[in-house]
A and B are shown apart, each in its own frame.
Chain A
């Protein structure tokens, strides 16, 4: 059972690294924010998995709760900032060949 939970944690870490590809080469800023929000939510779960493996869930669950709240506040604040500032980098392709979408 311990080995299965270790495998679940390693699968979560691998998928979070794959998500980091979208964060790195996302075309606009809000795409990066979506990826960061997803990684933050999975970090909450990864903290609880670490607590389960180390046998101290009662301590790690409080850290995970604080992390979930902090991730929610961060997402709301960054979304509100980009809604007010309207900063989105140009991700539309250049119309060089008469391509009209």
Chain B
């Protein structure tokens, strides 16, 4: 039972991280890349960390519970710190004057960034 929950959580984390990397490689703009990187990175990190914390609870003892709660504390830290870092990077890009992505293509059919 516990193993199946761990497998589901780790698989979901890897799938969300694949989506994050895909968005980071294929989106056309800095802001859209930031969108993919911020959201997917936070969610996949929290899912994988919760899965590993549940796997730590497999052999019940006081030290194992302490380790599991430390991993959950790292998940809480990622949940607070990663959106903050995303916002700081986004604000830095906006202040540096990066132009947002305007449209799909121009009249010549070429992609313009």
Contact = CB atoms under 8 A, between A and B. Distances in A.
A20 B103 CA distance: 27
A93 B95 CA distance: 20
Contacts of A38: 20, 24, 37, 41
A68 B96 contact: no
A99 B108 CA distance: 8
B18 interface: yes
Chain A, interface residues (CB within 8 Å), range: 35 or more
B55 A88 contact: no
Interface residues of B, number: 53
A101 B112 contact: yes
A6 B17 CA distance: 16
Interface string A31-47: 10111011001101100
B5 interface: no
Given A15-B18, A52-B52, A100 B106 contact: yes
B45 A80 contact: no
Contacts of A58: 63, 66-67
Nearest to B56: A57
Interface of B: 3, 6-7, 10, 13-14, 17-18, 20-21, 24-25, 30, 33-34, 37, 41, 45, 48-49, 52, 55-56, 63, 66-67, 70-71, 73-74, 77-78, 81-82, 84-85, 88-89, 91-93, 95-99, 102-103, 106, 108, 110, 112-113
